[in-house]
Structure 1
């Protein structure tokens, strides 16, 4: 950490401290004027800092720190070398902890005149800037000063007025740990604040949510989406999804993602409270393209562009009512209806201009389900269902401890070969009403044929089939896979292996293993066990050939 210090000669110097050896220091909170008027890092290094119009901030801060018994002080304009991206990134990621560790913070309100502070305090731009939110919350002690550098009062003395101006609970102003407040509450505190650069509305909130992430100036609004991604990875608080956006109502862009575009979307969410980490630790998982969320769903009688609409209750509560939850509207845009018990399914948020409050009675007839919800919809004209165009099957073999069977095994083929990667044992296919592929295993002079696919209603299936007519193969267009009857197919199949010196069966089991933004994956295990051993470890002990 780099601190300022006045020498006995009156010269100003920068002193760097490493690790825990930082001495007690004062810190300044202020709003910037024009950048050319502020004292920069290079002005201090070159000794020309007194030539800047706002050099009085430096003089006052050093003078007041000395009066408070402090030899060092920190000011963002001149303690950060903004020409160094590494220095800037470290400073922004450390900013909250630096304000939190200060012995005292001097909040300079340049537009508040001491003789009429009771009127002007509420109108100060200091309460509208993004960066000053963490500068209000992090320090243990803050003293506010007017434009004439006269003390107005401390944070403790002014907390009632500060609460009235900012809508921040007095408990937070008194130093209650911020993780005791829901994500929606904390976002609401920033809803009416602005920053000069669009990225900074996200970067200024990193400390409030205990997030560290690299700075990418130029990403603009994407920075706030990235901040929410980081919050999701460390928190189970679904109040992050409890926002409204008037611009995305029936007359605006009606289909959107699960994440807000700006903190202003949380302006009306200050009453949404978390239900505690004990209740939300497994409510959602971040996956590529969206969120796999565990939500309580109630099917409505509404449709959006021919898509069924659900009310999804979030794992948080409204105010002090533990029985009332905020609910968002979701449209099913891909896969099966979740009440069918089949997966996968995909949703997007609609009617983002409203939140509904559901009590226990309203939730009757609903059900808990894990669904996939997109985090963002970048194309405002996106209306078509999200196709599950990719189906991935991972195929493995397991002979258990039956060495005598393994000795008879003469290899295998998977068809169509164009879909099969023998290096990683992955079979990739598109959609299809019938079989997607065939596995052929060879034991001595016998071949076992097992077809597999994904039934639109019953899910993944396997089925023992007869070999094709002589001269044809599964790669031959004269024997189309999709013509295979699959009426009796299931996720388990067994067929005897003939002409074997060991009486045994080939068994296949198919199961869904995961679903993701643009597809679904399955696992198929092929095992061979003696027919007299129905409890063989062949289906319980999985060994993937790699």
Structure 2
């Protein structure tokens, strides 16, 4: 880790020193939004640093760290303490950054666009992706406006309430950093949903510390970085809220970006079924998980209930997503209608109606061969409409799954080749696939074969 010595050397320069992990001295840290002519690590090695506009940040940051109430000999500043010409060093720094903020004695947040308390809520600092970890990780955070005077906005509790109102981050997280683990993946993602980064990949890389994961940096992969982040989160957290997102341009069960979680701030983990399930896993076929599933529409359209629910106005509502049984065999699924989450009322929920299904849902990672401007990319769920007429009406669904419908209806639908009805019956827990008719002792499979219904045989 490199740090800037806060006292000037004999030649009037600020020295950048490197420390091993077991010899890092107490240090401050500077949080800011990048501007023109930032000072790089290479600039600090020569005489060019003082000629750049960004040098003022280094001078002021060092002066603050030396202040009597901080009295620190070193400060970390991202612009000049990382050699960004080295991809390995940049990767190591970004993977370590959350911990560096946690271990700092104090973090100075410099708001270059703020002149008074009235400007505070509108600062660009609250809209940037990288500053989210700089807001949450440090044990002590002090704000300074454009003239480097400290912003005083009342008591610490009042400041936290103000920040919570601006960012949507609960006061509990701001006051107790250890409480971060109490919040679901969807809630944490929602805190980043309105923030932006200059590079697409940084939208994922800036969130690693928030979830305690590390992934290699691959600049140039664009949206795939956010997919990789979610896959790594699934390896360490069994949290179905990671699937509780909405987006018009959804392209699989994993979210395209953090903005998809904008309305997920009140979704928490919850499993009312008390049934053993396998952990989430990732393969080249997709995401493997156990979900309770119910057919609700033509050509394999169904609802899969996630192990999570809403709070507040959505309390007592489980969250379900629309998925499509691609081969009509209850094995390979694709998420569709990604622009909506379906609430399931806990009060009227009957587990018998929702069959526990071991399913594989396509991740549909975006590849470099796909055209990012094509309609297939921007509206994949709508492109399926010609195959997917949509959910059955409540009347149709009641007629096909109501109390008058019994196991023997599977025999009749197999004999007539009524695929949609057959598929709906086979998703139920109370239908026996080996049932035989009274006269000929034929199973549904034999009836389908005898009448030449090839699709029904495959199903």
Question: Which residue of structure 1 lines up, in the alignment, with residue 166 of structure 2?
Answer: 165
How big is the shift at 1:8?
A: 5.0
Question: 1:466-505 to 2 correspondence within 5 Å?
Answer: none
| Residue from 281, 293, 296 that aligns with 1:285 | 281
* Gap change, CA 1:346 and 1:17, over 3 Å in 2: same
Alignment partners' CA distance in 2, 1:146 and 1:135: 16
Q: Which runs of 5+ in 2 are unaligned?
A: 371-375, 388-432, 435-444, 447-459
Q: Report which of the two structures shows the higher radius of gyration computed on alpha carbons.
A: 1
Is the 1:237–1:280 Cα contact (8 Å) retained in structure 2? no
SS in 2 for 1:220: coil
Question: Which residue of structure 2 lines up, in the alignment, with residue 18 of structure 1?
Answer: 20
Is the 1:283–1:295 Cα contact (8 Å) retained in structure 2? no
Question: Which residue of structure 1 lines up, in the alignment, with residue 301 of structure 2?
Answer: 309
Question: Which residue of structure 1 lines up, in the alignment, with residue 47 of structure 2?
Answer: 47
Question: Which residue of structure 1 lines up, in the alignment, with residue 401 of structure 2?
Answer: none
| Residue from 348, 362, 369 that aligns with 2:357 | 369
TM-score by length of 2: 0.75
How big is the shift at 1:361?
A: 3.9
Question: Which residue of structure 2 lines up, in the alignment, with residue 203 of structure 1?
Answer: 205
* Deviations 1:169-219 (CA, angstroms, capped at 9, x unpaired): 001111243221100000000001101111100110111111111110001
* Gap change, CA 1:331 and 1:162, over 3 Å in 2: same
Question: Which residue of structure 1 lines up, in the alignment, with residue 449 of structure 2?
Answer: none
Is the 2:270–2:307 Cα contact (8 Å) retained in structure 1? yes
How big is the shift at 1:309?
A: 1.4
Alignment partners' CA distance in 2, 1:98 and 1:280: 39
Is the 2:235–2:280 Cα contact (8 Å) retained in structure 1? no
Superposition RMSD in Å = 2.4
* Deviations 1:120-170 (CA, angstroms, capped at 9, x unpaired): 111111000000000000001000000010111486551111011001100
Structure with greater helix share of residues: 2
Alignment partners' CA distance in 2, 1:279 and 1:70: 54
Is the 2:227–2:365 Cα contact (8 Å) retained in structure 1? no
| Residue from 323, 327, 330 that aligns with 1:330 | 323
* Gap change, CA 1:137 and 1:298, over 3 Å in 2: same
Structure with greater strand share of residues: 1
Q: Does 1:296 align with 2:308?
A: no
* Deviations 1:442-482 (CA, angstroms, capped at 9, x unpaired): xxxxxxxxxxxxxxx89xxxxxxxxxxxxxxxxxxxxxxxx
* Gap change, CA 1:51 and 1:377, over 3 Å in 2: closer
Question: Which residue of structure 1 lines up, in the alignment, with residue 400 of structure 2?
Answer: none
SS in 1 for 2:53: coil
Q: Does 1:351 align with 2:343?
A: no
Deviates more, 1:47-56 or 1:203-212: 47-56
SS in 2 for 1:56: helix
Question: Which residue of structure 2 lines up, in the alignment, with residue 260 of structure 1?
Answer: 255
Alignment partners' CA distance in 1, 2:260 and 2:42: 39
Is the 1:2–1:74 Cα contact (8 Å) retained in structure 2? yes
Question: Which residue of structure 2 lines up, in the alignment, with residue 418 of structure 1?
Answer: none
Higher relative contact order (CA 8 A, sep 6+): 2
Alignment partners' CA distance in 1, 2:357 and 2:126: 42
Number of residue pairs the alignment of both structures matches: 365
How big is the shift at 1:325?
A: 1.4
* Gap change, CA 1:106 and 1:228, over 3 Å in 2: same
Alignment partners' CA distance in 2, 1:81 and 1:354: 44
Alignment partners' CA distance in 2, 1:183 and 1:54: 36
Alignment partners' CA distance in 2, 1:135 and 1:293: 34
Runs (4 or more) in structure 1 with deviation over 6 Å come to: 278-281
